Amino acid sequence: MEQDFGAFPALRDVSLDIQPGELVALLGPSGSGKTTLLRVIAGLNSPDRGRVLFDGENATNLPVQDRHVGMVFQNYALFKHMTVADNIAYGLRVRPRRTRPSRAAIKARVAELLQFVQLDGLGGRYPAQLSGGQRQRVALARALAIEPRVLLLDEPFGALDARVRKDLRRWLRDIHKQTGLTTVFVTHDQDEAMELADRVVVLNEGRIEQIGTPEELYDRPASPFVISFVGEAVALPVTIADGHVRFGGRELHIDTHGLRSGPARVFFRPADIAVAAEGNGDLEGRVESLRRTPAGVRATIAIDGYDQTLEIDSPLERSASLGGRVPLSLAKARIFPADENGEYVDAGDGI
Amino acid sequence: MFEIAIAPADDRGAKFRPVTQDSPLARYALIVTAVLFLALFLLAPLAIVFVEAFSKGIAPFLAAFDDPDALAAIRLTLLVAALAVPANLVFGLAASWSIAKFSFPGKSILVTLIDLPFSVSPVVAGLVYVLVFGGQGLFGPWLAAHGVQIIFAVPGIVLATIFVTFPFVARELIPLMQEQGKVEEEAALTLGASGFKTFLTVTLPNIKWGLLYGVLLCNARAMGEFGAVSVVSGHIRGLTNTIPLQVEILYNEYNNVAAFALAVLLAGLALVTLGLKTFLEWRHADALAGRARRH
């Protein structure tokens, strides 16, 4: 399956190739175009230009009814006036007479799907009588009933509370494994995307920032947006001069990978910075507050020449004193040119 | 230092009255005023309709319905409602569908226009039709040349009734459909349902109670309309008199029993409508929830 769009108000030059059987997450903040992209795949929105291909076949002008996509909507969009069983049977009952299964076959399929989503015995209930998690599963069963070519889920866990979310995540992973369906889901929750998906598409302002496996996104983020959106990151403004990276009066030992001289930003994960032995620091900071944690101490540290604070966990024996200055060492960092809209240079791993 | 201390007024403990609750005297005064007002201006006239209709016993009451003019008025009223209500049902569905599910230029103007009949006096509405379709009107000569009579005939009465009643269904459905959005329809489409099937199996069941409610009010108004119909009808006995017009004629002729006998029909219609409306509001409050209360 392949999408390829040009100018669409919410999407710009998005090109995406999804392999059969893959579980793909579209990840991005609100307004990034992820839901629009999902709706374009479903056929609910049509792009101004560009194409949608299913198995190499052009589906751009295929009406939504003929695309055979199983769509699970954000608030499930269950038919309130129908029972759970009627909801699930809907896609089969509206088929033209030639292709419509017999009553008995529909009934059997509904029973099978109810069992599949672990809702046996609830076929006679109305959506209003179900919990959020149960409604979610009815929506999934209804989408699966039409034997879709691809399963699309819009914020599948958005409306659920934290505990149900966790259970359903695992459950969705199992469903994907059992059905082998190509699955695309939209989420703004990076944990969800990273935990579930084979590949994650990071979207920002209608553009794809990076497509990659969770490992690739964590270890080799392609842009400042990806490194800050996927996992926590701290950015330090630096200048590059003749291959040297300067932060305030200090030099950071980061490989610039041929980045041209000028302002740049160094990104690192909070986990990659630690309190160093005296005289070994890349940076220096001041301890602003200390709090006990089960394993040690969490220090809030203001880095010299940087107007924000960051929290560092360190073991008890290394604890610094309040107000004291501590040397900090950077284990890993990435450097990007400062110009947000400029071409990104993949700087590779730092240090 | 600012100190707060609360102590019971006596041994039985203090009674606390919310600030929004008025004193018992004010409360009773308000309730009594409202009830008296209702009794005087609504219940008493309604009772008098029935009292007058049966003032000379049951036989004269029934005799009023033997009059061919009265029967013609009843038939005409039913015919007008049978034409105007379905017309407004279709219009109301189309208007609310387009307003709730699409966005297009001039949408807010359309919403405002739908309310026009509520703000225009029915007499003015009737006069407009006379000016457009009447003998001296805009299309009058052309219509006369082709042998079509609209004013002082049934078509004019139907048109005037449609004008006066067209907001009822639309106003009922617009907020309901807006609230429901289009996500259920989208779900039906992704499941393979055609547009028409989606309308029948998803949209219509979702709005059916609101639609019935609107049709009910529309029908009550269509049968009871006086002003607009009076202007375009010409009051031809047995031909262009609806029940309300016939009631007026009989009353002016001091034929009180016959006038009130026909009025009983209209009052009965009002009571049945009120009963059904209350039932719908009680039983299907959820399905009607999208609407703001206006009637």
pLDDT per position as a tens digit, B162-211:
999 989 999 999 999 988 888 999 999 999 999 999 999 999 999 988 89
Average pLDDT over residues B100-116: 88
Q: Can you read off the two tokens belonging to residue B201?
A: 């199996």
More confident residue, B48 or B285: B48
Q: Is the pLDDT of residue B84 over 60?
A: yes
Alpha carbon distance A326, A279 (integer Å): 10
**Would you say B122 and B226 are in contact if contact means Cβ atoms under 8 Å apart?**
yes
Alpha carbon distance B77, B225 (integer Å): 10
The reply to whether B202 touches chain A by the CB within 8 Å rule is yes
pLDDT at A340: 54
The reply to whether B192 touches chain A by the CB within 8 Å rule is yes
Q: How many CB pairs under 8 A join A and B?
A: 63
Alpha carbon distance A75, A72 (integer Å): 8
Average pLDDT over residues B254-278: 90
Single-letter amino acid, residue A277: A
- Smallest Cβ–Cβ distance between A94 and the set B184, B186, B191 belongs to B191
pLDDT at B291: 45
Helices (H), A55-179: 84-93, 103-116, 132-145, 162-179
Sign of CA dihedral A201, A205, A209, A214: negative
**Would you say A92 and A42 are in contact if contact means Cβ atoms under 8 Å apart?**
no
pLDDT at A345: 45
Q: What share of chain A is helix, strand, coil (3-state, %, to 5)?
A: 25, 30, 40
Residues in chain A within 8 Å Cβ distance of B186 = 44, 64, 71, 73, 77
pLDDT at A135: 93
Counting residues of chain B whose pLDDT is more than 70, the rounded percentage is: 93
Neighbours of B20 (CB within 10 A): 5
Q: Can you read off the two tokens belonging to residue A34?
A: 């992820």
Strands A334-337 and A7-8: unpaired
**Would you say A123 and A83 are in contact if contact means Cβ atoms under 8 Å apart?**
yes
Counting residues of chain B whose pLDDT is more than 90, the rounded percentage is: 47
Residues in chain B within 8 Å Cβ distance of A79 = 184, 187-188, 201-202, 205
Residues in chain B within 8 Å Cβ distance of A151 = none
Alpha carbon distance A332, A271 (integer Å): 9
pLDDT at B31: 94
Contact A71 B187 (CB under 8 A): yes
A113: CB partners within 8 A, 6+ apart = A88, A141, A144, A145
What's the distance, CA B204 to chain centroid?
Answer: 21
B111: CB partners within 8 A, 6+ apart = B99, B174
Average pLDDT over residues B118-134: 90
Q: Read off the pTM.
A: 0.77
Contact A142 B202 (CB under 8 A): no
Q: Smallest Cα–Cα separation from A20: which of A1, A7, A47?
A: A1
Contact A44 B186 (CB under 8 A): yes
pLDDT at B14: 59
Contact A67 B190 (CB under 8 A): yes
pLDDT at B293: 42
pLDDT at A91: 95
How would you list the strands of the sheet with A283-292, edge to edge?
A273-275, A325-330, A283-292, A296-303, A309-315
| Blockwise average pLDDT, block size 10, chain A, 351 residues | 58 83 92 88 84 85 90 92 95 92 94 92 93 91 94 86 81 89 92 91 90 91 87 82 79 76 83 77 83 84 78 71 81 77 44 40
Q: Is the pLDDT of residue B254 over 50?
A: yes
Q: Report the residue of chain B nearest A71, measured CA to CA.
A: B190
Q: For residue range A141-197, list pLDDT tens digits in order.
A: 999 999 999 999 999 887 777 777 888 888 888 889 999 999 999 999 888 899 899
Residues in chain A within 8 Å Cβ distance of B189 = 44, 64-65
Alpha carbon distance A244, A238 (integer Å): 10
Kindly report the nearest CA distance between residue B183 and chain A, in angstroms.
6
Residues in chain B within 8 Å Cβ distance of A127 = none
Single-letter amino acid, residue B138: L
Kindly report the nearest CA distance between residue B151 and chain A, in angstroms.
46
